Structure 1
Amino acid sequence: MVAAISFFWAGMILAISFVEAPLKFRAPGITPALGLGIGKRVFTALNRIEIAFAIIVVATAALTRRSFDWPIGMLSIVIVMLVVQTIWLLPKLVRRADAVIAGENPPKGRLHVAFIAVESAKLILLIAAGVGQTIKG
């Protein structure tokens, strides 16, 4: 179950963060404000789904009394990254998007790059954890 969740979670990150998000801004008629409005909704929804995945992983590990092995350790790191995204990165990016949507021109920062870096690390760790859980059986 943990392996399946890891792979499904990784697939969602790959599809949304690395396919949908960049392509959205290349679609005809999509303005930056419109793209950011869509992105706010999509990434907020993804975040909520990721929180559900994290809860399921923790509950499964607790209920099956799995020892703290390296795949579960990797998932623990992913959960810490998710917490950072949830309480720090995503709210700041949403506020910046709101400012752009309102017609303001906020200064560019590195938060978006940090978000992409965290998403990349989560993707790698989720795939590795899924492979590890699959190998362990």
Structure 2
Amino acid sequence: MATAATFTWLGMVLAISFLEAPVKFRAPGVTTVIGLGIGRLVFRALNVVEVVLAMIVAAAVLVADVPSDVGVALVVLVVLLLVQLLLVRPRLNRRADRVLAGEDLPRSRLHLAYIALELLKVAALLVLGVLLLA
């Protein structure tokens, strides 16, 4: 169960963060405002699913006899997710509110922080998935 949830989570992050998010802005007629509106909905949904998958993985790991490195990988993954959800996303949401309200703002470095966290999360998911397969 933990392995399936981990690789499902990995696939969702890769598909949404590294495929859907950048591609949507290349579609004809998609303005920054429309892209932001879509992105907020998509990432909110992704984050809800991520929390559910994290709980599934954690529950499965807690009831199974797994090596300690699995627990460490899971803790790292959960910390990365919490940093995104509690520190970065709220600031990105406030910025998006301002853009959606019509403010003309320069590009934000917060997006780079979010992308860096996504890359770290992908690495953590890969490590956790491989450890669970072993």
Q: TM-score, normalised by structure 2?
A: 0.93
Partner of 2:43: 43
Distance (Å, rounded) in 2 between the aligned partners of 1:80 and 1:67: 20
CA deviation after TM superposition for structure 1 residue 133, in Å: 0.9
1:42 alignment partner AA: V
1:6 partnered with 2:10:
no
Distance (Å, rounded) in 1 between the aligned partners of 2:68 and 2:9: 20
What secondary structure is seen at the aligned counterpart in 1 of 2:75?
A: helix
1:120 alignment partner AA: L
Unaligned ranges ≥5, structure 2: none
Distance (Å, rounded) in 1 between the aligned partners of 2:54 and 2:16: 18
Partner of 1:113: 112
Partner of 2:15: 15
Distance (Å, rounded) in 1 between the aligned partners of 2:9 and 2:71: 14
CA deviations over 1:48-81 (Å, ceiling 9, x no partner): 11111111112112222x3452133112101011
Partner of 1:90: 89
Mapping of 1:57-136 within 5 angstroms?
57-64=57-64, 66-67=65-66, 69-135=68-134
> Percent of aligned pairs with the same residue?
47
Distance (Å, rounded) in 2 between the aligned partners of 1:59 and 1:27: 40
Distance (Å, rounded) in 1 between the aligned partners of 2:35 and 2:95: 13
Q: TM-score, normalised by structure 1?
A: 0.91
Distance (Å, rounded) in 2 between the aligned partners of 1:2 and 1:126: 11
CA deviation after TM superposition for structure 1 residue 8, in Å: 0.8
What is the root-mean-square deviation in Å for CA atoms of aligned residues? 1.3
Check conservation: 2:88, 2:110, Cα contact below 8 A.
yes
What secondary structure is seen at the aligned counterpart in 1 of 2:121?
A: helix
Distance (Å, rounded) in 1 between the aligned partners of 2:13 and 2:99: 24
CA deviation after TM superposition for structure 1 residue 108, in Å: 3.6
CA deviation after TM superposition for structure 1 residue 42, in Å: 0.4
Check conservation: 2:77, 2:124, Cα contact below 8 A.
yes
Distance (Å, rounded) in 2 between the aligned partners of 1:96 and 1:68: 42
Once the two structures are overlaid, the 10-residue window that deviates more, 89-98 or 17-26, is 89-98
